[in-house]
Amino acid sequence: MNKFLPFLILAIILTLIPPVGSSANTTAIQLGSDVLFNQFHHLIEGKKVGLITNQTGQNSQMVSTIDMLRRDRSVHLTALYAPEHGLDGKTVAGKQVTSFVHPVYAIPVYGLSGSTRKPTPEMLKDIDILLVDLQDIGSRTYTYISTLQYAMTAAKEQGKEVMVLDRPNPLGGTIVEGPVVELPYRSFIGVDTLPLAHGMTIGELALFFNRTIGVDLTVIPMQGYTRNMIYQQTGLAWIPSSPHIPNLTSVFGYMATGLGEGTPIRQGDHFTWIGAEGLDSHKYADLLNGSLLPGVIFIPENKGTAGGVRLQINDPNQFNPAKTGIYALAYAKQLQSFPLPKSTSMQISMFDKVMGTNKIGLLLEQGKSPQEIISSYEADLKKFVELRQKYLIYGDEPFIPMQPIQQKQPKQPEQPKPSKPAKPETPAPPKPGNHNGTTNQTKKPEPATKPIPQTPKSSEKIAYLTFDDGPSPVTPRVLDTLKTYQVKATFFIVGREVAGHEAILKRIVAEGHALGGHSYSHNYQLLYKNMDGFFADLEKGSQMIEKAIGVKPTVFRYPGGSTNTVSLKYQDPTRYNKQHTVMQAIKAEAKQRGYTFIDWNVTNGDARSNKYTAAQALANIKQQVKSQKEIVVLMHDSSTKSPTAEALPEIISYLKEKGYRFEVIQADRPTVSNVK
C-alpha cells in the first residue's frame, strides 16, 4: 500500500489545481485576466511575456496570473516585476523592493519601488509584451497606478507593447473627488493630473495615461462590470493589497483618514481611525456627524492621549472617502491649531504631494471651512471629469467585451484647446452610460457595450459566420469548434429557446461571439399577420435575451429574411395586399425605430430540410462563395441541425484557405447584408 501512497497524493493535488482557461465562475463579473484567457488568448500566443503583478494578480477563481502563464505552453514568461510592497505584498511601505531570481520559477523578479521605479532597458530586453495585473484601491496616491504609468513610459521608450488586465475600482466609478494634481507637484504619488479619487479602473487609467505617452497599449476589459459597482457587489474575494490594506474597510477609509501626511493628524488601525494628540474626541465627532456626510458615522474614541474618531461606514455606496478626508482635516484644524508643512523651491512637502497642490495647506492655515476648501477645486475637478470622459470603458449596463481595447498611435497633446477639440484617441473605448461624479454629465449616454468599429481594408476578405434558431444542445458543439479554430461568429437567438439554455448564451458572450435577436416565437403566422404583432414578438425575444445576459441585442434577423414571400401568406388581408405588404410596413417601421437587420448572401442550405448531410452543407457553401470579398454565411444551430455542427470544421478550413478572416456582426459596422 505504501508504494502507491505518493501517486495517490499526486492525484489529489492535481484535482485541486484548476486548469488553464475558463472554469466555473460564481462571481458577478469576470476580470481582465479571465477574459484574456477565455476570449483573447491569441494576443499573447508565441510571445515572451513580462508581468507586473503581486499577490492580488489572481483571476476570479483565485488562480494567479503567474501560474496561468507558466502552465501555458504557447507563451514564455520571462520576467516578473513587483510594485511597492513586493511580489507577496508584505514589504512595509517605504522599504525598497529588491530584485532577485525567483527560486521556483528561475526567472528574474525586478523590484519597481525605491531607487528603481521605472523599468530599465536591461529589465525589458527579454520581453515582447509587458502585462500588468494589479489591484488598485481607487486613490491617486496609491503607488500601483504610478508603477503602471512609469512602466508604460519605459515600454514606449524601448518599443515594447503593454497589456493591462482590467480590475474593479473598489470604490466604484461614480465618486470623483479632491484637488487635481498641478504640474509642479507631480510625484510618485501623483504622476498625472488626477484628483484624489479618480473613479477609474486601472484599465481606464492606462488609456488616460496613454494620451501623453503613446505606447502600443491593449486593455483587456472586464465582463459584467458596471460603472457604479463597488467591490462588494462584484462577488470577488478581497485579497489584501498591502500590509495596511487587509480588508475593504481599510480601502474605503484610506483617503478618509490618511491625508494628514506631515501634520499631527494621523490614521490608525489600518485607516479606520483618525485623530491627533490632545484632540477632543467628542467635539471632533460632533463636528463630523453634524456635517451629515453620507454613508458614515463617526464614533469618538481616544487612543492613549490622542483623541479622534472611528469611522463606521454604514453605506459604502454613498460614502465619499476623499470628501470625508477633507472634512476630517478641516475640522481637526478648527479644533487644534497646528502648522502645515510648506513646500520650497528645493523640496515639495509630503502634504503637498498628497494634495497635488499647495493651495489646500494655505486654505487650512487660513481656517477655511471644508465647504470652502472643496469649492476651491471644483473648477479643476470639472475639467478633469470632462477630460476623462473619452477614456472610460464602462457604463450603467453590464459590459460585454466584444474585442480588446487598443491604442496604437503617436503621442498626443495633453490638453486639447477649447476652440479646437482634439479628436478622440483611435480606436477609443466605448463611451459609458450615465455618470454620477461630482459634476453632472449632460451628454446623452451611449450603450456601455458599443463595440469599436473597424473598417475593413478594401483588399481584405471577411466572413461573418451566423447561426439562427438556437440555443440548443447543438450550440455547444458549434462553440467548441469555433474555440478550437479561434473563430468568432454571430448567433441569432429565438427567445422561446432561451429558458434552460441561459448558460449557453453566457458562454457565447464570454467567448467573444455576438448575439442578435430572431423573434420570440419564430412563428410566421403570428409574426407576419401585422406590424404590431411582429414588433411585440421581437421585443419579447429581446427581453428574454436581456434577462439571460443583461444586455439587449443590437442586431436582428427577420425569420425568413427581409425579402421573404412567405409573409404574404399570413398577412392580414383587411390591412395589407400585394401592393402594400406587411413586410413593407415592418421594414418602414424598423427603419423608424433604428433597428439593424441582417440578411445573408451565402447559405449552407440547412434551412430547407432536416434531412441533409455535412457533405451537402459544405458543398453548398463552396458553390456560393466564389470570389466575393465579404460573405455573411447563414447556418442554423437548432436541435435538428447536427450535420451543420459536423460540417463546421471543414467550412472554417475552406474559408481560411480562400483567404477569409472572421468577424462578428456589429450594429455600427456596415456589411453587405445590412437592411435598415
**What single string gives the DSSP state of each residue in 432-465?**
-S--BSSSB--SPP--TT-----PPPTT-EEEEE
Candidates 453, 387, 415; CA nearest to 670 is 453
For the chain, the C-alpha Rg in angstroms (whole number) is 29
In whole angstroms, what is the distance from residue 314 CA to residue 336 CA? Answer: 28
C-alpha grid cell, residue 229: 459597482
Residue 480 makes CB contacts below 8 A (sequence gap 6+) with none
Residue linked to cell 489646500? 360
Q: What is the pLDDT of residues 29-48, one digit of tens each?
A: 999 999 999 999 999 999 99
Compute the distance between CA of residue 35 and CA of residue 511 in angstroms, rounded to an integer: 8
Q: Lowest mean pLDDT: which of 195-204, 268-277, 407-416, 665-674?
A: 407-416
Contact 146, 114 (CB under 8 A): no
Looking at residue 441, what is its pLDDT?
34
Report how far Cα 598 is from the mean position of its chain's Cα atoms. Answer: 28
115 SS3 class: coil
* 439 confidence band (pLDDT: 50, 70, 90): very low
For residue 33, the 8-state DSSP code is H
Task: Say which range, 23-37, 95-109, 607-621, 645-659, has the weakest mean pLDDT.
Answer: 23-37
Q: Which amino acid is at 218?
A: T
Q: Is 637 among the residues known to form the active site?
A: no
pLDDT at 177: 97
Beta strands in 125-263 (DSSP E): 129-133, 161-165, 217-220
Q: In this structure, what C-alpha cell is assigned to residue 17?
A: 489545481
Segment 43-72 shows an average pLDDT of 95
Q: Per-residue confidence at 154, pLDDT binned at 50, 70, 90?
A: very high
Interval 142-160 mean pLDDT = 96
In this structure, what DSSP letter does residue 399 have? Answer: P
Q: Mean pLDDT across the stretch 168-184?
A: 96
Q: What is the pLDDT of residues 370-385, one digit of tens each?
A: 999 999 999 999 999 9
Distance of CA 418 to the CA centre of its chain: 29
pLDDT for 458: 52
Inter-CA distances, 197 with 32, 201, 216, Å: 22, 11, 27
Strands (E), 114-168: 129-133, 161-165
pLDDT in tens, 211-260: 999 999 999 999 999 999 999 999 999 999 999 999 999 999 999 999 99
Q: Is the pTM of this model over 0.75?
A: no
Q: Cis link prior to 427 (omega < 30° from 0)? A: yes
Q: What is the DSSP letter of 18?
A: P
pLDDT category at 668 given cuts 50, 70, 90 is: confident
**Is the confidence at residue 434, as pLDDT, over 70?**
no
Smallest CA-to-CA distance from 423 within 211, 163, 209, 670 is with 211
Contact predicate 360/381, CB 8 Å: no
pLDDT tier, 92 (very low <50, low <70, confident <90, very high otherwise): confident
Amino acid sitting at position 240: P
pLDDT attached to residue 424:
38
Percent of the chain with pLDDT over 90: 74
> In this model, does residue 676 exceed pLDDT 50?
no
Of 198, 513, 522, 636, the active-site residue reads 636
CA distance 484 to 212: 39
Annotated active-site residue in 468, 469, 537, 637: 468
Residues 28, 234: contact at Cβ < 8 Å? yes
User: Band of the pLDDT at 325, cuts 50, 70, 90?
Assistant: very high
Give the pLDDT confidence of 528-586 residue by residue, as tens digits.
999 999 999 999 999 999 999 888 898 999 999 988 888 999 999 999 998 899 999 99
Statement: residue 423 has pLDDT above 60 = no
Angle between helix 531-549 and 502-510 (nearest 10): 70
* Residue 88 appears among annotated catalytic residues: no
Work out the average pLDDT over 106-116. Answer: 89
Taken in order of first residue, the domains within the chain and their CATH numbers are 32-239+394-407 (3.40.50.12170), 248-369 (3.90.1150.140), 461-662 (3.20.20.370)
pLDDT at 21 over 50: no
Query: Would the pLDDT of 95 be above 80?
Result: no
